[in-house]
Structure 1
Amino acid sequence: MEYQTFVRGVEERTDLSTAEEADDAIGATLVTLSERIPDETARNLAEQLPHEIGEYLTAADGSTSFGFDEFVARVLEREMVTDVAERETARRHAQAVVAVLLDAVTSRKSDDVLSHLTTDYERLFEGVDPEAVWGPGWRDRLGERG
C-alpha cells in the first residue's frame, strides 16, 4: 500500500479533512502502538508499510504494558488535542488507523501484534471484521502475551 492510499484510507474512515490531519492521527496511533508491542514486532510490521508510515512504528525504544484507556490517552496527547472531552475522537482516529493498517499488512504480521495486546484492546478493532482478518477464535489470542 502506498503512503497516499494509507492516508486517504484514514481520512475516509474519520472526520479528518486534510492529509496533514490524517498523518497526525497515523503518527499518534502508530507511535503509541510501537510503545505497546515488542520492538521486533513493530519492525516487522513497519517493513510492510511505506517508509513514511513505517518510521512511526520504529520510534519507540522498548515496550511497556498499558491498557486500552492509556493507549487512547497517549494518542490524544500526541494529536495535541487539548480538550479531554475529545477522547472519543482520539479513539475513533486510532480505530481508523488500525483498520487501514490491517488492510495494509499480512494477517500473519497483524496476528503477531494481536498476540501482544490484552483483552481490553478488543475495542481498538471496532470498525473492522477481526474474524475476516484473523479467523474464528481471534479473541482467544488477545492477552496471551500481553
Structure 2
Amino acid sequence: MERHDFYQSVQYEANFASEADARNATEAVLSALGERLDETRLQRLDGSLPNDIGDFLTDDASGERFDYDEFLSRIDERTTHTDIDDPDRLARIVVGTLLEHVDEDEREALRERLEELEFEAALPESGPGARS
C-alpha cells in the first residue's frame, strides 16, 4: 500500500478538499493514538504501513494513560490546518482506514485493544474492524 492510497481514502471519507487536509487529519489521529497504545503494538502496526504514516504512530509513543475525551481533545488541537467540526467522526475515519490497511491479525488485535481502552467509539460502524 502506498501512502497516497491511505490519504486518498481519508480524503474521500472525510470529504476533504485536498490530500494535505487528509495528511493533517491522519497525523492528528494517529499521533494521539500512538501516545495511548503500547510500544509493541505500535511497532507491529508500523511495519504494516508506509513509513511516514507509521511514523505518526511511533514518533511520540508513550503508552500514556488518558480517556477517549482527552484523545478527541488532542485530535482537535492538532488539526489546526484542517477544518473539522467532529473529531469523533474523524477518529472513526482514520482508524477505519488504518484497519483496512493492516492484516487480519493486526486488525483484530487493534480492535480488541481499543475496546479494552474504552476507545470503541473510534471503531467504524461498518467495514474492517467495525464494532460488533
Superposition TM-score tier, normalisation by shorter sequence: 0.7 to 0.9
How many residue pairs align between the two structures?
130
Quick one: distance in 2 between partners of 1:123 and 1:133? 12
- The equivalent of 1:51 in structure 2 is 51
Residue 142 of structure 1: aligned partner: none
Determine if contact 2:7/2:23 at 8 Å carries over to the other structure.
yes
SS at match of 2:113: coil
Question: What is the rounded CA distance, in whole Å, between the counterparts of 1:133 and 1:78 in structure 2?
Answer: 25
Task: Give the structure with higher Rg (CA).
Answer: 1
1:29 equivalent in structure 2: 29
> Superposed, which structure 2 residues align to 1:91-130 within 5 Å?
91-117=88-114, 118=116, 120-129=118-127
CA distance in 1, matches of 2:13, 2:79: 17
Q: Which runs of 5+ in 1 are unaligned?
A: 140-146
Q: Give the percent of matched residue pairs that are identical in Structure 1 and Structure 2.
A: 27
Q: Distance in 2 between matches of 1:107 and 1:126?
A: 16
Q: TM-score, normalised by structure 1?
A: 0.78
Please report the TM-score for the alignment, with normalisation by the length of structure 2: 0.86
Q: Is the 8 A contact 1:107 1:133 kept in 2?
A: no
Is 1:13 the counterpart of 2:10 in the alignment? no
Q: CA RMSD of the aligned region, Å?
A: 2.3
In structure 2, the gaps of 5 or more residues are none
After superposing on structure 2, the runs of 4+ consecutive aligned residues of structure 1 that deviate more than 3 Å are none
